[in-house]
Structure 1
Amino acid sequence: MKRRKITGEPFVICKGEDGALYSDNGQSLWRVVNEKKFQVPDCVTVICDRAFYKCSPLRRVSLPKSLKVIGNEVFWHCRKLQSVKLPLNLVAIGEYAFNYCWSIETMLLPSSVTEIGRSAFSFCMALTRINITKGVTVIRDFTFYWCVALTDVSVPKSVRKIERFAFSGCKAMKSIYIPNSVRTIGEGVFKFCESLERIEIPKGTLDKFSKLLPDDRDKLVEIDINR
């Protein structure tokens, strides 16, 4: 893809034929404005912070296999965005990356993802299903805050810590399984989860999780299952 230099040193930003802004080597996507659909070029490895910030017409984006990092607030307030297929080599999703993406219903994270930033999916009001990959060790503050339609989410054995209000406001969630690997749970993790009836935990861990979830003791259910 041809690019035209529009700034000088020390930060060289070029404008591509598609109208978007890129780094000089084309590996970083800086900014896209007012596109209904957009295909990120194959050479891009990083989508920089706020690249699609408040891109209100955006409905669909295609991401390349080369992509490894989605920065902070990349798709913030892209309320019409419906389709995002994350590539297999993606490693990190930044803070508030998909915040207020009201139209996304499902999200499939590739196994390569090891970092999900705080509030990455908060206020994704239509999101019903998402997987947390086995490389993730921390579910950060407000990650799924006010995902009111979320019903299907699983916590993998790699997770050691669930931070504050991570699932708060997930009003449609009826049950969730928490593995024994979890050692720390922050405040208000399941606050405003009005439909939550069962927090499934491994057999023999009731005392442990009663201390970690003092406000949800009555929902704890031990299950004998190899997860």
Structure 2
Amino acid sequence: MSGTYYRSSRVISKNNARNYLSSNVKIPAPIEYIASEAFQKKTKISSVCFPDTLKNIGARTFQGCTLLKEVLLPTQVENMGSNVFSQCNSLKKVILPQALSSIPRAAFQENRKLGCVIFPHDSQISRIRSEAFSQCTSLESLQLSSALTLIEDRAFYRCKNLRSVDFPEGLKRIGKEAFYFCAIEELHLPQSLEFLDESAFFKCMNLTYVCLPTNIHYIGKWVFHGCNRMKYLEIRHDPDFIGPWIINRACTIRCYKGSKVDEYCKEFDFKVEYL
């Protein structure tokens, strides 16, 4: 909320949150801002009705609201703080706002029943910050924002039932351990992708074949290491950097003879098939 001023009559803070507290919270207009930790660990809350006037929700505002089951955020919400809905053990469904530009750090971390996350058709979300959905073990599929350019470190760490992800064209970077120990079965990465950081898909046990986009210039170490069922990794270009042990030794790399990738395979004694 840096640089933004809200009149006190339009703010819910830790000091006045008790005035709105019930099992079914109704935030009235003209509230524009719910301050950090206002409803943190209020375990009686099972639902929240937000007004269309709401623009900002602070850090840890609903963290630990263990009975909260569903979050439908108004389209005008522009900013949310870190851990805003983390550790909400009963949360099953989230509809994200159209105006939101990024999903904050650890926003939904450890929400183990969260099975439905909806990005609106005209979503402005360009960044999913670190650990945003870490250990959301009920997530099975995602259709990400068409505006997305960056998935930060551990964003979907140990989402062990996440089988399907629709990556948008325009995505440029996937961070460290972003999809560590997920259940992704088929990986269709967009041609726009440039940077694949270390251990990004480490221990994705259901992967069998991956073909990397030709715009990737950085492949971090261990990126597909621990993917025990993976048979083929196809690399049709020469990235600027390839880290050590990007695959298990049982996997085969398909590449062009005499390429930098071919030399890499010889260095690490990986099996090769030439394209």
**TM-score, L = length of structure 2:** 0.69
Q: Percent identity?
A: 25
* Residue of structure 2 equivalent to 1:5: 12
Number of aligned residue pairs: give it. 216
* Residue of structure 1 equivalent to 2:215: 181
SS at structure 1 position matched to 2:261 = helix
Structure 1's 14 and 114: CA in aligned 2 closer, same or farther, altered over 3 A? Answer: farther
Decide which moves more: 132-141 or 50-59. Answer: 132-141
Separation in structure 2 between the aligned mates of residue 15 and residue 220 of structure 1, nearest angstrom: 68
Asked whether the 8 Å contact 1:198–1:221 carries over to 2, the reply is: no
- CA drift at 1:90: 1.5
Could you list the per-position Cα deviations for residues 200-225 of structure 1 after superposition, in whole angstroms to 9, with x for gaps in the alignment? Answer: 23389532334566658426663xxx
* Residue of structure 2 equivalent to 1:48: 81
Asked whether the 8 Å contact 2:185–2:208 carries over to 1, the reply is: yes
Structure 1's 172 and 221: CA in aligned 2 closer, same or farther, altered over 3 A? Answer: farther
Q: Compare relative contact order (CA 8 Å, sep 6+) and give the higher one, 1 or 2.
A: 1
Structure 1 unpaired stretches of 5+: 223-227
Map of 1:81-100 to 2, 5 A cutoff?
81-87=114-120, 88-100=123-135
Asked whether the 8 Å contact 1:145–1:169 carries over to 2, the reply is: yes
**TM-score, L = length of structure 1:** 0.83
Asked whether the 8 Å contact 1:79–1:103 carries over to 2, the reply is: yes
Give the AA of the match of 1:124.
C
Separation in structure 2 between the aligned mates of residue 146 and residue 136 of structure 1, nearest angstrom: 21
Separation in structure 2 between the aligned mates of residue 5 and residue 84 of structure 1, nearest angstrom: 26
Q: Is 1:29–2:36 an aligned residue pair?
A: no
Decide which moves more: 211-220 or 193-202. Answer: 211-220
- CA drift at 1:67: 2.1
Could you list the per-position Cα deviations for residues 18-72 of structure 1 after superposition, in whole angstroms to 9, with x for gaps in the alignment? Answer: 47x7259832223222311121123211222101111111011122222222100
Give the AA of the match of 2:95.
S
Aligned-pair Cα RMSD in Å: 2.9
Give the AA of the match of 1:28.
N
User: Deviation above 4 Å: which 4+ runs of structure 1?
Assistant: 12-17, 211-216
Give the AA of the match of 2:78.
T
Match for residue 154 of structure 2 among 119, 125, 138: 119
Could you list the per-position Cα deviations for residues 80-111 of structure 1 after superposition, in whole angstroms to 9, with x for gaps in the alignment? Answer: 00101112222211101010000010010122
Mark the structure with the bigger radius of gyration: 2
Q: Is 1:153–2:214 an aligned residue pair?
A: no
